[in-house]
Chains A and B, each alone.
Chain A
Amino acid sequence: MSLAVDIEFRLNGVVRRATVPADMSALVMLREVLGLTGTKYGCGEGECGACTVLVDGASINSCLLFAVDCDGREVTTIEGLAGDARAERLQRAFTEYGAVQCGFCTPGMVIQARRILAQHPHPDRATIQRGLEGNLCRCTGYRKIIDAVIAASDQS
């Protein structure tokens, strides 16, 4: 049994306490300790982006983050975007534009797209493509995902 550490952090707006092995990833903590399975395990080494979460507002591969390092920080997962108006626009646009096929990459895509829109309210396609380069999708060919992010942004 690995060393267990008590941590406390804000998860999707709610203060949570957890006792986690010191060598556990934040991803495994979210899925297996806290039961939030919206965040996906894809590659486990930061290549695919399926495990993307927001930590203090910045997107991070939760598979590369130590769970213990969440202590005192603010973590937002895909579950925590429920009720966020911009994220709900993204959700509708993803379905409307066919940006979801198998759906496995979608939580990470939506989190990262939310981050892009927070930084660039009026992104062009190149900005979105750059922003999503850490998120792999094996179904859509990306074009429909970019279409959806454009549609959810403030284009005027």
Chain B
Amino acid sequence: MRTLERYAAPRALGEALELLRAGDVTIVAGGTDVMPQSHSGKVQFGRTLLNVRRIPELAGIALEGGTVRIGALTTITALLESGLVRERLPILAEAADHFASEQVRNGATVGGNICNASPAGDMLVPLIVLDATIVLAAKPNGSIETRSLPLREFLTGPGRTRRAPHELLTAVSVPLPARGFVSRFYKHGTRPALDISAISIGIGGVKRDDRLESVRVVFGAVAPTPIRAHATERVLEGRRLDAATIEAAAEAAHDEVRPISDLRASAWYRQELVRNMTRRLLEDVARG
């Protein structure tokens, strides 16, 4: 086992990026994932432990033009307490409300939940429904450079992302939903608190009369990453949200997911949950 040689808690983004450029760095913010993963051996510390929690550029929630910028250090509690999030991005507040326990919500950060890239990550499903983009910063040759990519492209597998080792996720950008946008979130666990999802579902779309447009259906914990359910979306897109459409969408959802069996649920049960809860969420959208 390697030993840590350096601990740093910089107060400026540039300084953190220089440390990352030097290589072999383990990044920590709230610690809620890194600490247990280091105990279990899933994470081996690099030479440098980089605590990013004091970097002001990574903090805060702000409306910039038509986009909500959520700093990577935003805790799940801060999301829940944000009027902007509750009023304009309610699906995100709803998912935050189902996240672990208060003690974990007070420590865990949005950026950490994204970079941990769990197939069951609670923030990922609503953020993909909202078409979120992540911002990565690096300092390859003396000046800070940033790039953005859609969250669903950023996630490549369990614990795997497109973040290069010298990059830091600084923020997630969420475009304000169009007028008439409706959304629903559902997480299934055996108890309300502190459970890792057996499945989660996010549905969003613009409701015009009794039709959904620009539909997004996202499932968590049924694949190596949260997935857009394109076949289900096609069934719903622009169609009257009546009983027949809802039934067809629920069947499409069931047939579209290919979950695995593990200690939280069997593949069969996950598919049943996907069908039945997709139906229930859509019925709720149709009513509401």
Interface residues of A (CB under 8 A from B): 2-3, 5, 22-23, 25, 44-47, 49, 52, 55, 58-61, 63-66, 68-69, 71, 112, 115, 131, 133-135
| Cα distance A98–B83 in the bound complex, in angstroms | 39
Cβ 8 A contact of A49, one of B49, B51, B103: B103
B62 in contact (CB, < 8 A):
no
Are A134 and B51 closer than 8 Å at their CB atoms? no
Are A65 and B7 closer than 8 Å at their CB atoms? no
Are A66 and B28 closer than 8 Å at their CB atoms? yes
Are A3 and B103 closer than 8 Å at their CB atoms? no
B179 in contact (CB, < 8 A):
no
Cβ 8 A contact of A47, one of B6, B39, B107, B194: B194
Cβ 8 A contact of B31, one of A5, A64, A115, A133: A64
A56's nearest neighbour on chain B, judged by CB, is: B106
Cβ 8 A contact of B4, one of A3, A65, A135: A3
Residues of chain A within 8 A (CB-CB) of B102 are: 59, 112, 115, 131, 133-134
Q: Mark B89-129, 1 if CB is under 8 A from A, else 0.
A: 00000000000111110110000000000000000000000
Residues of chain B within 8 A (CB-CB) of A47 are: 194
| Cα distance A114–B39 in the bound complex, in angstroms | 30
B30's nearest neighbour on chain A, judged by CB, is: A64
A25's nearest neighbour on chain B, judged by CB, is: B35
Residues of chain B within 8 A (CB-CB) of A23 are: 4, 38, 45, 49
A20's nearest neighbour on chain B, judged by CB, is: B7
CB distance from B79 to the nearest CB of A (A): 14
| Cα distance A115–B103 in the bound complex, in angstroms | 10
Residues of chain B within 8 A (CB-CB) of A134 are: 100-104, 193-194
Given A45-B36, A61-B107, A69-B31 contact (CB < 8 Å): yes
| Cα distance A58–B4 in the bound complex, in angstroms | 29
Give me the 7 closest cross-chain CB pairs, A-B, nearest first: A134-B101, A133-B193, A22-B7, A58-B106, A45-B36, A3-B4, A61-B103
A-B contact pairs, 17 of them (CB 8 A): A2-B3, A3-B49, A25-B35, A45-B36, A49-B101, A52-B103, A58-B106, A64-B31, A64-B104, A69-B28, A69-B31, A69-B53, A133-B194, A134-B102, A134-B103, A134-B104, A134-B194
